[in-house]
Amino acid sequence: MDMNEIKEIFFQECEEQLAELESGLLKLNDGDRDPETVNAVFRAVHSIKGGAGAFGLDDLVAFAHVFETTLDCVRSNKLEPTQDVLKVMLKSADVLADLTNAARDGGSVDESRSRSLVKELEALANGELPSPSALAEAPAPKGAAKPVAKAVPAAAAPTVKPTDDSGFQPVPFSFDDFGGEGGADSGMPAYEVIFKPRYELYSKGNDATLLLRDLSRLGEMTIYCNTDDLPGLEELDPEGAYFFWNVTIKTDKGEDAIRTVFEFAEWDCELTVKPVEEARADATSNDELPMVPVPFDLSILDESGATEEVSAANARAEETAAAVAAAETASNVTQMASAAARVEKKESAAAAAAAASAAAQNNAAAGAGQTIRVDLDRVDRLINLVGELVINQAMLSQSVIENDTTGTSSINMGLEELQQLTREIQDSVMAIRAQPVKPVFQRMSRIVREIADMTGKSIRLITEGENTEVDKTVIDKLAEPLTHMIRNAVDHGIETPEKRAAAGKNTEGTVRLTAKHRSGRILIELADDGAGINREKVRQKAIDNDLIPADSNLSDEEIDNLIFLPGFSTADKISDISGRGVGMDVVKRSIQALGGRINITSKPGHGSVFTMSLPLTLAVLDGMVVTVAGQTLVVPLTAIVETLQPEAAAIHSFGANHRLISIRNSFCPLVDVGRILNFRATQANPVEGVALLVESEGGGQRALMVDAIQGQRQVVIKSLEANYTHVPGIAAATILGDGRVALILDVDAVVGASRGQSLKAEMSLAAVG
């Protein structure tokens, strides 16, 4: 494993820590005063600092340190986590995320912002409460600006030593827990445990790692493995005991509890348990050189099968920096679990229910830590293979049915079982890619904070159902339209505090983001309690922009939906509209590109609700299987408004080549799919076919003529571009039950082509191959 890989792991872990940090801060913001929440927040920053130190990311370390100092004040109850304090902290979390990104991808961060936050954090740590005005103006006065790296107060000088040129500084931060301010302030007595197994311990079948794991259940611990006694390979006795561990543990269980852990091994090891102060006093009186410990990766404690020697040797061999990061995370998980257990035990009846649920959540979080990182390509490959398996299974079943006239029951039973198995495999594989929408929702809370700050509004974001799971590709593409809509909601939807007060509303606006599953799709709802859409203005604007005729009579719902029209947003004076309308056509298009639908309902004076219905995965699509000129095509179901059998009387010729179909007294152009895709030279007779009424992104309706409808089916989407090229009019391909490829129609392109934009022009370039 080279340094870059280790660094990559660190950054991935940073992401997790940042998410943890943000959700913890938001919990605190919601009035959660559980010490474990504060601890989790503290640990997140601490871990980032630790890892960043190992990689010599000085800016990150400096900022994290100041942040940590302030958080420590909260942890030790010196600072009350009021809304104002949390505001600063949430912003600091944002900056920390920016700094992490900058460290990973290069690029820069807004230094004035981090500088002013450093000042605010220091002020908080020094017991100065933030004034609301200081919060409003983010950048600090120029004269006071200091580089972040130097802004670390001397008094709280980090126990971190600056990394040397080689970038190798094995144990930069964990000394904090050895009873520096950080350790002493946590309120729990700390003990130093030296555990030195003898040869007999192993020969009796005891496992040092198991003992250490039991120990870790008592409280927060920092652990080092001393490998100084490890002889060279030629002298190594594979059954020997060469390592000892130096553990600092913070626990309220007392010294005896620690000794109890080692009860069985008492005679086979040297054990010293001392309160940290004492241990430290001893160390100084003896004037010994401090041991240079090798950090011990607690995660190996979970692998029951690993022998102590192998693990420890690995720990030594591995780059120390990685171990630091890994140990931090691993200990976090253990700590979390143990803390949850503690909460469960001591709470009184009144608080028991709440505590239990919190504990359950914490446990769930600890359980969620049991994950592996997998390259998305590998999962995709697996999904492809399973898709193929499903198709093959269907083909096999079909040929057995066709050929097996006697119908022996064993074959049929076997096939049935195979079918069940493949279906289960398919579901499980799809579930691998499913992820909770939480990360996207968390990003939204940051956007709400930023826009609210910019517009001087006070907004509260409530998220619900953030554990609802969706396919990763959907999640990735969800962020952009959602960001857009949240911006709109905060900027235009919610009124200024003065206006809200005048309207008799709470001055704090509420934006509610909800996710839930409904009938095989995910429903995402964005609701605000703002002013709602000003229909008169929207209507007027649409008329001004020639989107609707001046005398048109539209229902309220139709007016609300005008904001999705392209061209509605091209207006220059966007903020004139008190409702919405900034780029909503873009939002609608990206939702449609995801195979989704979006709807708006608005109540003047009470706010608006946007509802998005999205497929759970982009790998599968609901389609209408149709035949056109002997070819089988799939039309995405989301595009189809209705299907109808045209009657001769409803078809009208229009000019030389065009035909219209009258549907409930409106005329809709007929588009022969077979003709437009060049599958046949002349137009088919519409009366012999079926018309699919579709709605394109441009809002226009078209009647697509196909020869016959075979039925509705879920199809697995396969890329055409991977091996071929983009084909105009075709969105992708799929494989049908008989193993043949069927093409999925690109409805928007076909409708566009029917307006006169040629499909062929695009093709000429692509067809060179």
Partner 1 sequence: MSYAVKNLNEGDRELIAFRIGDQEFCVNIMSVREIRGWTPATAMPHSPAYMLGVINLRGAVLPIIDLAARLGMKPADPTARHVIIVAQVRRKVVGLLVDAVSDILTVTDETVQPTPEISSELERQFARGILAIDKRMICLIELESLFPETESEAA
| Residues within the interface to partner 1 (CB under 8 A) | 384-385, 387-388, 391, 631-632, 677-679, 718-730, 733, 735, 739-743, 759-760, 763, 765-769
Q: Closest separation between CB of residue 386 and partner 1, Å? A: 9
Q: Distance between CA 84 and CA 23 in Å, rounded? A: 17
Q: Distance between CA 432 and CA 434 in Å, rounded? A: 5
The nearer residue to partner 1, 285 or 723, going by C-beta atoms, is 723
Q: Closest separation between CB of residue 677 and partner 1, Å? A: 4
Q: Distance between CA 279 and CA 191 in Å, rounded? A: 8
The nearer residue to partner 1, 97 or 634, going by C-beta atoms, is 634
The nearer residue to partner 1, 397 or 455, going by C-beta atoms, is 397
Q: Closest separation between CB of residue 676 and partner 1, Å? A: 8
**Whether 556 contacts 597, CB under 8 Å:** no
The nearer residue to partner 1, 516 or 740, going by C-beta atoms, is 740
Q: Closest separation between CB of residue 377 and partner 1, Å? A: 14
Q: Closest separation between CB of residue 517 and partner 1, Å? A: 27
The nearer residue to partner 1, 204 or 740, going by C-beta atoms, is 740
Q: What is the Cβ-side half-sphere exposure of residue 109, based on CA atoms within 13 angstroms?
A: 25
Q: Closest separation between CB of residue 398 and partner 1, Å? A: 15
Q: Distance between CA 91 and CA 104 in Å, rounded? A: 20
Displacement of CA 124 from its chain's centroid (Å)? 31
Q: Which residues contact 146 (CB under 8 A, 6 or more apart)?
A: 115, 118
Q: Which pair of tokens denotes residue 356? A: 């239990």
Q: Closest separation between CB of residue 759 and partner 1, Å? A: 6
Q: What is the Cβ-side half-sphere exposure of residue 247, based on CA atoms within 13 angstroms?
A: 31
- Which residue, 747, 709, 719, 695, is CA-closest to 625? 709
Q: Distance between CA 279 and CA 101 in Å, rounded? A: 41
Q: Which residues contact 24 (CB under 8 A, 6 or more apart)?
A: 37, 38, 40, 41, 44
The sheet carrying 690-695 orders its strands as: 640-644, 690-695, 701-706, 666-672, 658-663, 651-654
Q: Closest separation between CB of residue 697 and partner 1, Å? A: 21
Q: Which pair of tokens denotes residue 353? A: 């229910």
Q: Distance between CA 674 and CA 705 in Å, rounded? A: 8
Q: Closest separation between CB of residue 670 and partner 1, Å? A: 19
Q: Which long-range contacts (CB under 8 A, 24 or more apart) does 258-266 make?
A: 258/191, 258/193, 258/215, 258/218, 261/211, 261/214, 261/215, 261/218, 262/195, 262/211, 262/215, 264/206, 265/197, 265/201, 265/206, 265/211
The nearer residue to partner 1, 48 or 694, going by C-beta atoms, is 694
- Which residue, 299, 4, 6, 292, is CA-closest to 170? 292
Q: Closest separation between CB of residue 737 and partner 1, Å? A: 11
**Whether 663 contacts 742, CB under 8 Å:** no
The nearer residue to partner 1, 321 or 750, going by C-beta atoms, is 750
Q: Closest separation between CB of residue 682 and partner 1, Å? A: 16
Q: Closest separation between CB of residue 749 and partner 1, Å? A: 11
- Which residue, 333, 334, 352, 336, is CA-closest to 344? 352
Q: Distance between CA 195 and CA 229 in Å, rounded? A: 14
Q: Which residues contact 86 (CB under 8 A, 6 or more apart)?
A: 25, 28, 29
Q: Distance between CA 527 and CA 513 in Å, rounded? A: 7
SS (H, E, C) 678-702: CCCCCCCCHHHCEEEEEECCCCCEE
Q: Closest separation between CB of residue 632 and partner 1, Å? A: 8
- Which residue, 293, 247, 298, is CA-closest to 274? 247
Q: Which residues contact 750 (CB under 8 A, 6 or more apart)?
A: 671, 673, 676, 677, 702, 704, 729, 759
Whose tokens are 């392209």? That residue is 566
The nearer residue to partner 1, 238 or 630, going by C-beta atoms, is 630
The nearer residue to partner 1, 270 or 380, going by C-beta atoms, is 380
The nearer residue to partner 1, 283 or 395, going by C-beta atoms, is 395
Q: Closest separation between CB of residue 51 and partner 1, Å? A: 36
Strand pairing category for 294-295 and 434-436: unpaired
The nearer residue to partner 1, 386 or 624, going by C-beta atoms, is 386
The nearer residue to partner 1, 25 or 730, going by C-beta atoms, is 730
Q: Closest separation between CB of residue 383 and partner 1, Å? A: 9
Q: Which pair of tokens denotes residue 748? A: 């928007």
Q: Closest separation between CB of residue 721 and partner 1, Å? A: 5
The nearer residue to partner 1, 385 or 687, going by C-beta atoms, is 385
The nearer residue to partner 1, 359 or 749, going by C-beta atoms, is 749
Facing residues of 612 across strands?
Answer: 524, 598
The nearer residue to partner 1, 258 or 633, going by C-beta atoms, is 633
E strand or H helix at 326 = helix 320-346
The nearer residue to partner 1, 165 or 375, going by C-beta atoms, is 375
* DSSP summary character for residue 137: S
